[in-house]
Amino acid sequence: MWLLAQYSPTALFSLRTGTATSSGGKTNLCPTMYGVKMALVAAAFEAGLDGREIFERVKAARVRIKPSRWAVVNNCFIRIQREPHDRGSVAFQPTVAYREFVHLQGDFTVAVEARGWAEAEIEQVAGLLARINYFGKRGSLVQFTGTDRMEELDSGFSYVLGDERPTLSADVVVQFLDDLGPDAGFDAVNTYSDRQPRLGRDRIFVPVALPYRLRGSSRTYTAYERTAG
């Protein structure tokens, strides 16, 4: 059984891929599994709950996304302030960086697998999903619009190899999205901990097929349309 939460984008979305650098890189087209789980943990602490308990509950849960109907990626260069290479210098240095911002048109849905959860646990996570107001970079604001439940996901949701689906979209865009590893510990994702997350164990990258079709592109934009659901 899947717990669904619908969100309406209210600002441009941006979440750089794992291979991006500070100078540039492409953005993901939707929130990642890792991002959703960390948003739930943050919402738990903000609500006065035990975030560690929520972390352990959602760590191994599958998360899938039904993306917005349209995603238009804006390609642009912006001026940023970069930390100087010279350790003796205190002034930041102005430079130019490549950034991508996505205009999402239409609600998107986050699906969290609730297999084996008690009803009280499902209701608790549903309440936390309602508290989330952004995914990706701060400023990528969303408006929560409601929850639902579904036994089987349809072809409008993202797909990972091994998922059992009655139907799949014929057109997909594949992106490597990050997720928590099955053996990840809380200290590895705690920003106040000295321990750094280990790539490939605490944080893994998974090829995810999004039901999108390329509809048009130019030097300044790339437009995708969801093809199913």
Residue 23 in this model has a pLDDT that exceeds 70: no
Calpha distance 78→85 (Å, rounded): 20
The predicted structure's pLDDT at residue 37:
95
Q: For the residues 157-169, what does the mean pLDDT come to?
A: 84
Tokens matching residue 78: 């912006």
Residue 19 pLDDT grade (very low, low, confident, very high; cuts 50, 70, 90):
low
Residue 39 pLDDT grade (very low, low, confident, very high; cuts 50, 70, 90):
very high
Q: What φ, ψ does residue 151 adopt, rounded to 5°?
A: -75, -45
Residue 90 in this model has a pLDDT that exceeds 70: no
Residue 138 in this model has a pLDDT that exceeds 90: no
Q: For the residues 214-229, what does the mean pLDDT come to?
A: 91
The predicted structure's pLDDT at residue 130:
96
Residue 31 pLDDT grade (very low, low, confident, very high; cuts 50, 70, 90):
very high
Residue with tokens 């995603």: 71
String of DSSP letters for 100-149 = EEEEEES-EEEEEE-TT--HHHHHHHHHHHHH--B-SSTT-BEEEEEEEE
The predicted structure's pLDDT at residue 20:
65
Q: What Cα–Cα distance (Å) separates residue 109 from each residue in 9, 36, 52, 66, 205?
A: 11, 11, 25, 5, 21
The predicted structure's pLDDT at residue 185:
86
Q: What φ, ψ does residue 43 adopt, rounded to 5°?
A: -65, -35
The predicted structure's pLDDT at residue 190:
81
Fold annotation for 2-73+100-226:
Alpha-Beta Plaits (3.30.70)
Which of helix, strand or coil describes residue 22?
coil
Residue 214 in this model has a pLDDT that exceeds 90: yes
The predicted structure's pLDDT at residue 194:
76
Best CA proximity match to 174, nearest among 17, 9, 3 = 17
Of residues 168 and 134, which shows the higher confidence score?
134
- Other beta carbons within 10 Å of 64: 22
Best CA proximity match to 132, nearest among 41, 67, 59 = 41
Q: For the residues 128-144, what does the mean pLDDT come to?
A: 92
Calpha distance 11→8 (Å, rounded): 9
Write a three-state SS string for 163-208: CCCCCCCCCCEEEEEEEECCCCCHHHHCCCCCCCCCECCCEEEEEE
Where exactly are the structural domains of the chain? 2-73+100-226
Of residues 65 and 23, which shows the higher confidence score?
65
- Per residue in 68-85, pLDDT (tens digit) is 999 999 988 878 777 777
Tell me how far apart the 2 most distant CA atoms of the chain are, in Å: 61
Residue 89 pLDDT grade (very low, low, confident, very high; cuts 50, 70, 90):
low
The predicted structure's pLDDT at residue 166:
76
Residue 87 pLDDT grade (very low, low, confident, very high; cuts 50, 70, 90):
low
The predicted structure's pLDDT at residue 229:
76
* Residues 6 or more apart whose Cβ sits within 8 Å of residue 160: 62, 64, 206, 207, 208, 209
